[in-house]
Structure 1
Amino acid sequence: MVGDGHRRAGTPLRAAQDEAGVPPGVWKGRGLAALGLTAGDVVTERQAELLLGEGRHPDADRIERELLAQGESPARARRATVLGRPIEHNASPKTDKAKERTPWLALDLVFRAPSTAHIAWALTDDETRLVLEMCQDIARDRTLAWLEESVAQIRWGSGGKHRRPVRDGLIVAVFRHYESRAAESKPLLHDHAVVSIRARRPDGTWGNLSADSMLAHIVAADTLYTLHFMEEVSSRLGWAWVPREVTPGRRPVMEIAGVDRRLIGWQSTRRQQIEDALSVLTDKYEERQGHPPGEKAGYALACQAADQTRPPKRTELLSLTELRTRWRTSAIRAFGACTVYRLAERARAAAAAVWARVRPVVDIALVAVDVVAVVYVMRGAFARHHLLAEARRHLSYVLRGRRHEPGLNARIVQAAVDDHTRPVGRGRRMTANLRALYPSDIEDQAVLRPLTRRRTAAPYERARLAAGALAARVRAARRAERLGSRTRPYAVAVPAVSRSRPRPFRDGRKDGRLPEPETGIDTVERTRQTLEAAAAQVASTLQDSRRAREAAHCLRPQPAPAAVPPPYTQQPGTQHTPGRTTGGVT
């Protein structure tokens, strides 16, 4: 709540925040109305202690005093301020499960922008800094709104086995921090959104959120936040985004185009410490397991490396102005003043080049195939939120900061589910439908299967190979369809002639002789019109071909020769008089 500095014992929260130079926490979420709070109100230390530490009403002290004044017993007055089940139940010796003895009252969601955004926020002028902070607020609030509307569920029934949508919304306390936990202070603009586990059921009673549902959609929420942040930065500052490969064979991250990559290493000293420890842990894992770690194992190793290299909190607390001055001085000393002061200018110039080179075209059919291939190779069986996260990653890579159409990611996921997946088991899991991906080529349906078992390449590298192969097949099928439906060149539409022999007309004669065919005026006229139309079309086609050849060989049309006057011939019976004409205007 007070940043990454150390808070002395006995120091009030607000005083510690002022000393650390961080803003106070604010309340967010649509569930605040049920508690009598308003979005944007400052989070006091007592409110955070009651709601996030004890699961009680943020204004429990006042409510308890009023009930005691009305004659209620202390136990009843305290129970009236508890939201849902009291935490004293978890401390009961009758509880058997260890997880029930440890109350879980909040989720800490961290909203962190890409590295180049921290660099621009720390080294540019105050106006740009405020714009980036606004982009952070907008992207964070939109992501929290999506979690409220589409993800948050309340536990219902015996043992919380059933899930229902929350009645009001989430209750969130947001705290902003400015620096990282590295030994030397480095810029790291990020928000801690502490989500209360307490929420109201549809009948108005209080219960606990389904933490499983929230945690399952963390990656999808992260990709949505990144997508919104990129769009806000591009629309307000005119910057574009480009992919950067952090780890070979892993997913790239999006960074602001034009920012010197050396500044990323200067800012990410904490990341370098984690990567050094991670390489040692990865080598031990490969030696023990015989293959590189997958996505889940790699994430677990990264968390272990972060915990091993986590330094203690700093005792020296500086304001944001002092921190920005120190960061700018350090960057100028390392890379020069031109690199720092021309950062925004170079970002705008690079954005113009990126947007001129990259077309923001989103083909839903191709994106659906790409998303299914990547998720299938990396996971095998997957859920809908895995497709949603990958679709948002694809949009951020293709659009490079341009705004996407609302609901586009949902349409991509729906197309992928409807056309290229099949259910697995009795749950909500699914997998790629290889027959749908290869409808007319049975022998090649196993192209994706070897990629899922190939341990020599990184998972994401195998996924990109599969996505590229499937996208090439879709393009080839479309090309063949277009060529098959295209009209042949130089083809002339003529009336169809019946291939069967005409049945002879019998006029009742027995000699079997047929009457001579009659050639009427209408028949001759129709034949003449058909031949004239065909000749005109052939002539037009030949003329177009001649012009195309002349244009290809750069042939210029030759000027027509001057008309030679015909020799004068004197008409019989007339006499030519020099200097005079026989008529007309002189």
Structure 2
Amino acid sequence: MMDVRLIKRGQIYRYYLRQVVVGDYLRPVRTPLGIAQIQIGVPPGRWTGRGLADLGLRPGAIVTEDELRQLFGQGRHPHGDRLVAEALAAGKKPAVAAGAGKLGRAVEVTGMDLVFRPQPTIQLMWALGDEETRQVIETAHERAIEATLAWIEDHAATIRVGAQGRYPTRPVHGLAFARFRHYESRAGTPLLHDHVLVSLRGLRPDGKWGAVHSTTLLENVVAASSLYNELVMAEVCEALEVASEPRTVSAGRRPVMEVAGVPHELIGWMSKRGQEIDLCRQELEHEYVTAVDEDGNLKFGPVVSEEARTKLNRIAARKTRPPKPEARSLAQLRADWRAGAKEFLGEAAHLVDSLLERARAAAAAIRARVAETLDVALAALGVSAMVFVMSSNGLFHRRHLLAEARRFLALVQRGRRREPSLDETIVNAAIATHCLDITEPKTTRGLLLGYRLYTTHWARPDPTRSRRRAPE
């Protein structure tokens, strides 16, 4: 999954430099960042992204506290203080030298925090398997993150230019990301996840710095999350010779894909924190669907959309957040997790030592009955129908089709890798064959491919439908 939250000016001091960069533990006062990370047992953050060179940063370089403070806390160049000092030393006037550290005009939102975490059964194999399995899964996790970030750079990152920001353009070289690895949840259970801080500053084609449009990124979160989910499962399955299968988590909701053969009982052991969040989210969902306005009408409708559920889940996570337990090294964590899992299973404790073997045995049966080729026409029909049904008013954008195509591929591929452009091929076929463009653009933005408004050909004609908004 991929969760997201905005980073605002000044927030980097209160939350990220005190907790996120040190595994969500509370960083000791006046302890240098590198030392605190060593003491707590988390690796240092690393820079990644195609836009690093524009900021004088190197891929894979360690993220320093000063760079975080300037780029995300102040919206300045990560080496802004040094650039200003060099300009002053060169004889520039203070007012002119100050410009050397700026990245365009000041904005309130300086970045986004994307949190990537694999599916629970992958977490279990990572936490309870041998060292080789752990390394394979971490590599798969990293590859899936890199591919998702590349998709964001190519398709979701835009800078608004022109009068009133009517014309979008891509950052010419890409974006800069600071990635931090964490190993456990706040309940002390296994939770491999990465915080990826996205700088919302990008270089425009005219050579000036601009603000990356956060709304566009937020609109594409579900499509990006679906891509990560699909890719991390495929990478793990291919590398470990296992397969995936659907698992129903909640009645009435679509299943999620998990590694076949891994005992689901262990998910209950691992997901104590998740169960607390789910209970709180269910209460919030009840308040959501029963909320009424002054006239007694439902404010949000009787159905909780995927986007609304994601937001409510984030609220529930904040409301139920406990303090983290005492810091332990990854080796100690893994030893404690194995002991805890065996105690939880009791007489079935031997399953902990045979997770990979059981998963490979289950994969052999699954792959024997799964076709290696995909019927694109049938996939396009299924994706179109699902998006139409899941939409509250039968309207949708291209990004909704793309997210559904990735969910569909994860379901039918069962852990096999697919051609990188197959999701786009399915979406193009869906739009060409089953979708009706009903866009009535009133702005330049509305003319863009990503904001065309669709319904399906089999939808009942409704003269007011085109004036409604698609779900976000």
TM tier, shorter chain?
A: 0.7 to 0.9
Kindly state the Cα deviation for residue 62 of structure 1 after the two structures are TM-superposed. 2.2
Change (3 A) 1:406 1:86: closer
* Runs of 4+ residues deviating >6 angstroms: none
8 Å CA contact 1:421, 1:430 repeated in 2: no
Kindly state the Cα deviation for residue 109 of structure 1 after the two structures are TM-superposed. 0.9
What is the rounded CA distance, in whole Å, between the counterparts of 1:391 and 1:293 in structure 2? 21
What is the rounded CA distance, in whole Å, between the counterparts of 1:153 and 1:280 in structure 2? 36
> Which one of 327, 342, 352 corresponds to residue 337 of structure 2?
327
8 Å CA contact 1:4, 1:179 repeated in 2: no
Kindly state the Cα deviation for residue 123 of structure 1 after the two structures are TM-superposed. 0.5
Q: Answer yes or no: is 1:304 the counterpart of 2:304.
A: no
2:174 aligned residue: 169
What is the rounded CA distance, in whole Å, between the counterparts of 2:431 and 2:86 in structure 1? 55
What is the rounded CA distance, in whole Å, between the counterparts of 1:282 and 1:146 in structure 2? 31
Which amino acid in 2 is paired with 1:432?
T
Deviates more, 1:407-416 or 1:423-432: 423-432
What is the rounded CA distance, in whole Å, between the counterparts of 2:30 and 2:109 in structure 1? 25
How many residue pairs get aligned? The number is 422
Change (3 A) 1:285 1:146: closer
1:563 aligned residue: none
RCO comparison, higher one (Cα < 8 Å, 6+): 2
What is the rounded CA distance, in whole Å, between the counterparts of 2:307 and 2:221 in structure 1? 14
| TM, length-normalised to structure 2 | 0.85
2:383 aligned residue: 371
What is the rounded CA distance, in whole Å, between the counterparts of 1:181 and 1:260 in structure 2? 23
1:69 aligned residue: 89
> Which one of 15, 33, 43 corresponds to residue 35 of structure 2?
15
Change (3 A) 1:46 1:413: same
What is the rounded CA distance, in whole Å, between the counterparts of 2:50 and 2:335 in structure 1? 38
Aligned 1:52-91 pairs, distance under 5 A: 52-86=72-106
What is the rounded CA distance, in whole Å, between the counterparts of 2:216 and 2:354 in structure 1? 45
1:356 aligned residue: 368
What is the rounded CA distance, in whole Å, between the counterparts of 2:150 and 2:350 in structure 1? 41
1:26 aligned residue: 46
Sequence identity, in percent? 48
Kindly state the Cα deviation for residue 244 of structure 1 after the two structures are TM-superposed. 0.7
What is the rounded CA distance, in whole Å, between the counterparts of 1:169 and 1:296 in structure 2? 26
Aligned 1:31-180 pairs, distance under 5 A: 31-86=51-106, 103-180=108-185
The two structures, once aligned, show a CA RMSD in angstroms of 2.0
Q: Answer yes or no: is 1:342 the counterpart of 2:347.
A: no
8 Å CA contact 2:396, 2:455 repeated in 1: no
1:530 aligned residue: none
Query: What is the CA deviation profile of residues 476-497 of structure 1, one whole-angstrom value per residue up to 9, with x for unaligned ones?
Result: xxxxxxxxxxxxxxxxxxxxxx
Kindly state the Cα deviation for residue 358 of structure 1 after the two structures are TM-superposed. 2.6
Change (3 A) 1:156 1:420: same
Change (3 A) 1:47 1:281: closer
8 Å CA contact 2:84, 2:99 repeated in 1: no
Structure 1 portions without partners, runs of 5+: 88-102, 438-444, 453-586
8 Å CA contact 2:178, 2:197 repeated in 1: yes
Kindly state the Cα deviation for residue 285 of structure 1 after the two structures are TM-superposed. 4.2
What is the rounded CA distance, in whole Å, between the counterparts of 1:300 and 1:175 in structure 2? 23
Deviates more, 1:298-307 or 1:263-272: 298-307
Change (3 A) 1:50 1:304: closer
8 Å CA contact 2:384, 2:456 repeated in 1: no
Change (3 A) 1:347 1:293: same
> Which one of 242, 245, 249 corresponds to residue 242 of structure 1?
245
| TM, length-normalised to structure 1 | 0.69
Change (3 A) 1:30 1:406: same
> Which one of 187, 190, 209 corresponds to residue 187 of structure 1?
190
Corresponding residue SS for 1:57: coil
What is the rounded CA distance, in whole Å, between the counterparts of 2:414 and 2:100 in structure 1? 52
What is the rounded CA distance, in whole Å, between the counterparts of 2:131 and 2:333 in structure 1? 13
What is the rounded CA distance, in whole Å, between the counterparts of 1:264 and 1:158 in structure 2? 52
Which amino acid in 1 is paired with 2:366?
V
Query: What is the CA deviation profile of residues 336-394 of structure 1, one whole-angstrom value per residue up to 9, with x for unaligned ones?
Result: 43111111111111111111233244111111111111111111111111101100110
What is the rounded CA distance, in whole Å, between the counterparts of 2:135 and 2:370 in structure 1? 29
What is the rounded CA distance, in whole Å, between the counterparts of 1:374 and 1:408 in structure 2? 18
8 Å CA contact 2:46, 2:180 repeated in 1: yes
Kindly state the Cα deviation for residue 429 of structure 1 after the two structures are TM-superposed. 3.5
